[in-house]
Structure 1
């Protein structure tokens, strides 16, 4: 897939303009968004993501456009579903630091901008590694399978506590902070001293937490497409609609009781696909004498997209059924 340099610049520029517009609007009027407001905004982002996929097909129809479109949609759905898991952690962070409701939009938006920048670096590094070393797919695949097992075990527990990572502990030690918010300001002056506000700590927590999730999501999407442009745009659309999704389904997240298990199955599926792909391009001398393993089955991208839709659909339906069943049992017992 040949993407002209100007298309890269135009894409990044348009995304940056949209984010800056959001920052300008929210900075002028911090508020708790209404359901109607976030629904319209979310529909706009989802609609733009769908139209973009059709654009990929239209403008690359001479270069297997349907294949690239399917790869993009599979990557976008995967990144979006993994981002939903982020939302639960975001809720815990907001509760942990007692972020006022009207400031949560600002915190989320700036945290997401940081996440986009960090993911961009990850995507560039991943693309360089894949172009240079085909065996990196073995590492990506093994890591995703390991993560799937770990996530599946965590899905069986009821742990709902936010645990700060090492970077966050360093930030809290390094920056003298006050426990009082000063609007959306990151720093304030108290008794002549410049102190970090809780908003600064929250934004750092949101950005670095998403980076930890990117360790799973970036290898996962590279298991669906090797096109850096599609990887970048799928991530951008997934993250840009995340803030609206936070306010729209915050209460629904607790009903998605099988979300972690569903995502574990999804990551395991992509992990296996990556390992099989690595076998097809094998150059490691201790595997099949350094020759490609052509007998290994190859999972087409259309099958991958279908599997992603089925896994997410079954996870959602089963979760809602279990939640309703538990609610009925709770009411009958009371």
Structure 2
């Protein structure tokens, strides 16, 4: 999810022949909300993920169960419904060509079966699983490799991070929680139940592992940087790691990381609820009509646009973009 935030222009002085014009021209800049189109008759629409260049956003809505939707440059496309009206679709990630991953929840009259999928050309490809195994797709790269989780029905708390390559057999990376995968198959995962609560950057081809000590959720992987929350002696902060396992930056007061753009701007919450942008010059709170809700996927693009979902007073949800505009 590449992005770059353009700072607000507070004012400009126009010089001509070394003479200052009589009046400085002031530009008023702000975030302007633009609601995304939603499915007719659907309720509770919300964002679930976005592609690396943010041209695609994937989300879900409710209509006889959970269903999937993709926005391509704000144009809405509904994902195909499941085979049975009793089943549900839970998308979680999308790549730059519109291929989606997630899982279907298959109704069985008892505990539902979770089946990871890769979705393209209006069809679901269910990814291989062992007998008695549940699976979920979590993230997908531009090559179509899917990162996800599997677990046995008898032990749902014991989850294993796996990758389903576009071609070739499934690969396993041990117990934990899947976070993201990039185009070079570098994987980020975290083991919140491990002895020292650490994260890992793993080469999906060789299996080589780099430890991220103390990494924990909430956590995201964006523009080849891992961002996560941690406590400090005075409160909280977000921590940023590079692919070499170097701890490159911290962001005081951060709790929920949303994403990082190509120029290094980090989008997240200051405290638990206040959307904020951290740049080299410091933190700026996001001021806009209807702010992104931290319960849903959010991001910041290279055009300074914010992606997310807001809630109205009646608790209804609305996926939207917030565009940085100056007048």
- Please tell me the TM-score bracket, short chain as reference: under 0.3
Higher share in strand: 2
Higher share in helix: 1
Q: TM-score, normalised by structure 2?
A: 0.22
Q: TM-score, normalised by structure 1?
A: 0.21
- Of structures 1 and 2, the one scoring higher in RCO (CA 8 A, sep 6+) is 1
